[in-house]
Structure 1
């Protein structure tokens, strides 16, 4: 099946949602890429907990099978995660760590890894794209958190990361600390980074926000920002793209990426969790070694799943 990519047009800033309680019944184990202290809310200690896996079909899966393809919201500008390689002439298909997971979900749902219609979704529109029904899933370095869990359903975690600083090598910024005072720090609308900066800015100017996190790199290169806050996994990719900048300090949060789906689509959530169970045993490490190992180094593997029911 031919792959289609459709760019979203609206860039509406999403309001922050209220916190929703999620209670886990199993301990998560296995360290991921980032190892940092978690700043968890007392009412939402484990937002990465999800429904138990199942191979059963249901109304959401039936609708996907009826149309014959999976509509996936992705990024096309995050190096190593979801992007197009301009050096591959004649092939504009997106590729990366997140894209590999999309292919695996399509393969197990529809029997064809290429039965996918891609839609490029800005960081600020990931939740809205799910709520409007524009996409079946979002696989786009999307951190699972309590605010988002109010509006969308998440799979179990497939990657562990944390927020981190990027800045020019010769800057006086040393990390997420008082060296940010008076500095212009860029983050993406609707991102965990912006939420953290609003919680504690260390006197930084945090008014520079963009629809997509990669746009912060452009702002930094143009001299319109002094630093960037983004996920450590994405920060490593941006540092690899521009040798004049570097990661500053250690990650200051612990977070997990998940596949986002519509509230009430329990059959799809459970099936994706079943697919992730298989993927952790085989395809995950191969994909990590292909796309992320050069930038992030060795890994102990994916985070173990945590379930609510």
Structure 2
């Protein structure tokens, strides 16, 4: 069954402070884990060398101390399988209106997971991440519409998984070594990197000395903040840069930037490109200064669900009609590039064996 995927055209010119006020109002209205049911790679299967036995971390362990995990956290996932297991069986056992996949998503990241103000009375959630959610629901429950979306702030993604409020999070979530010790990840489904977003009139040129004496905004719990914090402590970021401004949701940084409360935003380049499309007064500065990968996040012990999602991703990448490339063309080609090569994750490696 093909997922619904219509190109929404009514958002042209949807930018500026006024539009952000609307978005923020929506975010406030839905921030408390709003449930909403809606309608709605070539990933190879190479194992990529000897397997790494992935021991789940004790509370006092730091997975980043493991060289294999630190150097390639995106490879610390389980091999694909279409088999059901206890986690999937519990999802399938839900009855009636509750027989849905419960997924944490964003609702205000333009072209990733956002509410289309022209999307009818329900202001449908749409975007690249949302397409993937529908594909997972189709495979597990046989219905792409069998989804209960919950709006999750950036800094609540991991708690929502650990406390069982959602089955998974599909929300532009970077795989890193710290998070690998907190949740389980699928293989990567997107490649990006940290980048600077600032007003076009700004003298900021990128991630370097032009950030001196500038106030930089990042989201709480984000890889952007971790990178800036680490770099400042290590002397890799100019000492006078102010990184104290953090917000619960990444989009709040754009609002702060538009209001003149900060001088720059640091976030994933893929998200920053969509925000630049919303507001023509800002632009990406310089080039990405990290390489990162988005993954689907699940509970650490949900092995069967991790394997199933990895199999879905393999099939999604191979689907030339309504798969990964079609979703990229629909949502991201206008803000990133027509050629998706720079955004495609590498062939997955499944180094976690337990």
Calculate the TM-score normalised by the size of structure 1: 0.87
Q: Is the 8 A contact 2:195 2:269 kept in 1?
A: yes
Match of 1:215 in 2: 252
Match of 1:31 in 2: none
SS in 2 for 1:275: helix
1:253-303 per-residue CA deviation (whole Å, 9 max, x = no partner) reads: 000000000011000000000000000111000000000001111112443
Match of 1:276 in 2: 313
Alignment of 1:203-242 (within 5 A): 203-242=240-279
Determine the C-alpha separation between the residues in 2 that align with 1:138 and 1:198: 25
More helix per residue: 1 or 2? 2
1:93-132 per-residue CA deviation (whole Å, 9 max, x = no partner) reads: 2010000000000000000001000000000010110000
Determine the C-alpha separation between the residues in 1 that align with 2:281 and 2:84: 50
More off after superposition, 172-181 vs 85-94: 85-94
- 1:71 matched to 2:102? The reply is yes
Alignment of 1:8-19 (within 5 A): 8-9=31-32
Alignment of 1:1-309 (within 5 A): 7-9=30-32, 25-26=47-48, 42-43=67-68, 44-49=70-75, 50-67=77-94, 68-200=99-231, 201-202=237-238, 203-282=240-319, 283-297=323-337, 298-300=339-341, 301-308=344-351, 309=353
Determine the C-alpha separation between the residues in 2 that align with 1:78 and 1:216: 12
Q: Is the 8 A contact 1:239 1:245 kept in 2?
A: yes
Deviation at 1:90, TM superposition (A): 1.7
Match of 1:37 in 2: none
Determine the C-alpha separation between the residues in 1 that align with 2:78 and 2:31: 29
Query: Structure 2: where are the runs of 5+ without partners?
Result: 1-26, 34-45, 50-64, 232-236
RMSD: 1.8
SS in 2 for 1:48: helix
Match of 1:32 in 2: none
Determine the C-alpha separation between the residues in 1 that align with 2:253 and 2:201: 18
SS in 2 for 1:296: coil
Deviation at 1:59, TM superposition (A): 0.6
Q: Is the 8 A contact 1:7 1:121 kept in 2?
A: no
Determine the C-alpha separation between the residues in 2 that align with 1:305 and 1:100: 20
Determine the C-alpha separation between the residues in 2 that align with 1:277 and 1:233: 22
SS in 2 for 1:198: helix
Determine the C-alpha separation between the residues in 2 that align with 1:108 and 1:9: 28
Determine the C-alpha separation between the residues in 2 that align with 1:290 and 1:151: 33
Structure 1 segments of 4+ aligned residues over 6 angstroms from their partners:
none
Determine the C-alpha separation between the residues in 2 that align with 1:142 and 1:75: 10
Determine the C-alpha separation between the residues in 1 that align with 2:84 and 2:123: 33
SS in 1 for 2:196: strand
Q: Is the 8 A contact 2:116 2:123 kept in 1?
A: yes
Larger radius of gyration: 2
SS in 2 for 1:236: helix
SS in 2 for 1:129: helix
Calculate the TM-score normalised by the size of structure 2: 0.76
SS in 1 for 2:327: helix
Determine the C-alpha separation between the residues in 2 that align with 1:88 and 1:94: 8
SS in 2 for 1:166: strand
Q: Is the 8 A contact 1:284 1:302 kept in 2?
A: no
